[in-house]
Every structure is written in structure tokens, then in C-alpha cells.
A = this chain, B = another copy of it.
């Protein structure tokens, strides 16, 4: 069956959450896409989000070089969340860490799991 980005469920701001995971299984980040960002990501295979703060397309890595190449796009059962398997160039996080999820809650404390990449 042909995939149609129109069939995805967007929130009242026209956005859908998109999770990026690398090939090792590490979850790198979560950001948002509008329908046009979904289409551009599929067409260009360069992951393109919608920046809510800048209200603009955000081609991941366009300024930093830390691009995400799309390997696979997956849709969840109720079509309101995306999971992308990506090839990540360098760190995904703006703090220079591989993943944005570098803080763990351990016995009530917030603990940093990883250091910024060199």
C-alpha cells in the first residue's frame, strides 16, 4: 500500500513527533515534523525537522555538519509518532554528545551518562 504523509495524525500545530535512533539501537533525539518536513525527509533522505522555536525547517546538521541520513522511516500503530533509523554524523545533541538522552535518574539523582564528544 502506498504511503501517504497525509494519513499521519498531526497535532493542533500540525506537528508529529519523530524519534531518531541509530543503527546500534541508541535513541539519539526526538524532535518534530510537519507534513512538508516528512515529505522532504523521505525525498532527500536527509532528516528534516520543523523547528518550533525558529518556526522554520531544520535540516539536521545543515550548519553543524552533524547530519542524519535516513535509513528507514517507521510509523506507529495509531500513526501519530514516527521512528527513524538514521546514520548519524558525529553527535546528535547540540551539547556535542552522541545522544540528547545523556541524563539518567538513578536513585533520585540526575546523573550524566556520557561526556561531550572530542
Q: Which of A17-69 contact B (CB under 8 A)?
A: 17, 19, 21, 24-27, 29-30, 42
A75→B105 contact, CB < 8 A: yes
Q: Which residues of B contact A78 (CB under 8 A)?
A: 100
Q: How many copies does the complex hold?
A: 2
Q: For A103, give the chain B residue with the smallest CB separation.
A: B75
A13 to chain B, nearest CB (A): 10
Give the total of A residues in contact with B, Cβ under 8 Å. Answer: 37
A3→B73 contact, CB < 8 A: no
A105→B17 contact, CB < 8 A: no
Q: Which of B93, B94, B104 contacts A73 (CB 8 A)?
A: B104
Say yes or no for A102: interface residue by CB 8 A criterion. yes
